[in-house]
Amino acid sequence: MSALSTLTDAELVQRCRAGDPEAWNELVERFSRYVYAVCTRGFRLSESDADDVFQEVFARAYTHLGTLRDDSALRPWIAQLTRRLCIDAVSKSKREHPAAEPISDDLTHDLDEIEEAFAVREALATLPDACQDILDRFFAQDQSYRTISAELDLPSGTIASRIARCLGRLRSELEGNSSLDGRSRPAAESGE
């Protein structure tokens, strides 16, 4: 996990504006999965269109970061930017390929789920690194118990219990945190 991963969105924006390259790397890392999910799972863009939108979102964010009125509003700003660029990509695709599939009726539901997933990810970021790592490997990266065991050098018999324990911590974190509007709290202590 990056040393900057505990910064709030507002702090991150300020450091990016000051020209800190590590802060920019963290900003991209923090929002890359979200932007990718909106492009591919929300709007179901082709790989090529999704790549174009992904790059354009961050290009515009970089160019216009100085115009953001409220630094803590980074997340809704990136969300709006991503959706607008996805809509443009879908419109362009329909002009070029009239038979292309229309935007799914489930779009609103899918985008709501992605927002919910992002809030879970923010809660995950407050857990100890070891918990973040094992949950991400198992759920987001589809790694098997065997792979996790080999890569983290843990006995395979302990993987399931660790995942269960970390899931419990994540659930507690979410239940104790009804407002997840932007990263605002420091990370929990390190270690499990």
Q: Give me the residues that bind another protein (CB under 8 A), please.
A: 21, 24-25, 28-29, 32-37, 41, 51, 54-55, 58-59, 62, 113-121, 124, 135-136, 139-142, 164, 167-168, 170-171, 174-175, 178, 180
Query: DSSP label at 106?
Result: T
* Of residues 36 and 77, the one with the C-beta less far from another protein: 36
**Min. distance of Cβ 5 from another protein in angstroms?**
14
Q: How many whole angstroms separate alpha carbon 91 and alpha carbon 95?
A: 6
**Min. distance of Cβ 94 from another protein in angstroms?**
23
Query: Are 134 and 152 in contact, with CB atoms under 8 Å apart?
Result: yes
**Min. distance of Cβ 113 from another protein in angstroms?**
6
> Residue 35 class from Cβ within 10 Å (0-12 exposed, 13-18 middle, 19+ buried)?
buried
Task: From 124, 106, 100, select the one nearest 187 (Cα to Cα).
Answer: 124
**Min. distance of Cβ 124 from another protein in angstroms?**
7
* Of residues 3 and 99, the one with the C-beta less far from another protein: 3
Q: How many whole angstroms separate alpha carbon 101 and alpha carbon 164?
A: 40
